[in-house]
Structure 1
Amino acid sequence: MYTDLWNHALALYARAGVEEACLDVQALGGDVCLLLCGTWLQARGVAATGQRAQALRDIAEPWQREVVAPLRNLRQQWRTAAHNDAQLAALREQVKGLELQAEKALLERLQACSQQWPADSHEPTDDWLARLAPDQAQDHRALHQLRVAAAALQDAEDGA
């Protein structure tokens, strides 16, 4: 199993269908970094509680709002114009890199927040994705797809 959240997120995001599922949940108001953190916590056997989920949200929401979202909005705003302007396309790629760095920083913050929570605890492990996904995504196929991919990644890691 990946010991850190960043490497878990990279491995999961690279699996077939995960990027699309994450973007679908994001379009419904979900936070991809929170969801990836949830799959990591689930894989580590960390018990999901309302208090822990809220602690993660308290870190993620302001960072998403003040750092990640403005970068994403700027990158998306430049999408069409960058097709015909090489300089703007280069700047857009730099913004995309900053957005990725901001998401990595958020994942590091989420990991730091959850570092003291016991892994492989004997507490019942509730569904982290159910606690961290927005209500409108709870029954969406994308959330199911993310669960399946995370379980398959865990099975692959356990078999290695």
Structure 2
Amino acid sequence: MQSDLWDHALSLYARPGVEAACLDLQRQGGDVCLLLCATWLQARSIEVQQLRIEALQGCAGPWQRDVVSPLRSLREQWRESAKEDQPLAELREQLKKLELSAERALLERLQACASQWPAGRPGQTGDWLAGLVPSQLQDHRALEQLRAAALAHQASVDDD
């Protein structure tokens, strides 16, 4: 089992269909870092508790709002213009790397937030994805894709 949230996120995100599912959920208002954290907590058999959900949301919300979202917004604003402007395209690539660094910092913050939560019994910990996804996305197809990929990923990690 991977103990580091960043490594878990990279490994899961690389699985077929996960990137598309995460981006779809993000476009609909989901926080991909929180959702990847949810899959990590589920894999570690950490019990879902409302106070823990609130702690994670409290950690992620300001960082997403003040750091990640402005970087993403600017990168997206430059998408079309950068196709015809090489210096802008280079700046956009730098911005993309900075956005990824900001997401990594958020995952590190989320891991620190959850670092003292003890593992429970596998299969009896609750559903972290349901707790951390916005209510309008509870039955979204992309969430089910992410859930299935996370289960398959965990099975492959457990087999190692």
TM-score by length of 1: 0.97
**Structure 1 residue 28 displacement after superposition:** 1.4
2:57 paired residue number = 57
Gaps of 5+ in 1: none
User: For 1:70-81, what aligned pairs fall within 5 Å after superposition?
Assistant: 70-81=70-81
Q: Which letter does structure 1 place at the counterpart of 2:88? A: L
User: For 1:87-126, what aligned pairs fall within 5 Å after superposition?
Assistant: 87-121=87-121, 124-126=124-126
In the alignment, the residues of structure 1 paired with residue 71 and residue 36 of structure 2 have an alpha-carbon distance, to the nearest angstrom, of 20
In the alignment, the residues of structure 2 paired with residue 136 and residue 7 of structure 1 have an alpha-carbon distance, to the nearest angstrom, of 29
Contact 1:83/1:89, CA 8 A, preserved across alignment? yes
Contact 1:68/1:99, CA 8 A, preserved across alignment? yes
**Structure 1 residue 120 displacement after superposition:** 3.6
Contact 1:75/1:92, CA 8 A, preserved across alignment? yes
* Secondary structure, counterpart of 2:25 in structure 1: helix
**Structure 1 residue 141 displacement after superposition:** 0.6
Query: Are residues 1:152 and 2:123 paired?
Result: no
Q: Which letter does structure 1 place at the counterpart of 2:17? A: G
Higher mean Cα deviation, 138-147 or 117-126?
117-126
1:45 paired residue number = 45
In the alignment, the residues of structure 2 paired with residue 43 and residue 59 of structure 1 have an alpha-carbon distance, to the nearest angstrom, of 20
**Structure 1 residue 91 displacement after superposition:** 0.1
Q: Which letter does structure 1 place at the counterpart of 2:12? A: L
* Secondary structure, counterpart of 2:126 in structure 1: coil
In the alignment, the residues of structure 2 paired with residue 110 and residue 121 of structure 1 have an alpha-carbon distance, to the nearest angstrom, of 22
In the alignment, the residues of structure 1 paired with residue 56 and residue 14 of structure 2 have an alpha-carbon distance, to the nearest angstrom, of 23
1:142 paired residue number = 142
Gaps of 5+ in 2: none
The 3 A distance-change label for structure 1 pair 47 and 123 is farther
Task: Count matched residues.
Answer: 160
Contact 1:130/1:138, CA 8 A, preserved across alignment? yes
* Secondary structure, counterpart of 1:19 in structure 2: helix
Q: Which letter does structure 2 place at the counterpart of 1:152? A: A
Higher mean Cα deviation, 112-121 or 88-97?
112-121
* Secondary structure, counterpart of 1:3 in structure 2: coil
**Offset from partner CA, 1:23-67 (integer Å, 9 cap, x none):** 111111110000000000000000011110100000000000000
RMSD: 1.2
**Structure 1 residue 121 displacement after superposition:** 4.5
The structure 1 segments of at least 4 consecutive aligned residues displaced by more than 6 Å after TM superposition are: none
The 3 A distance-change label for structure 1 pair 122 and 83 is closer
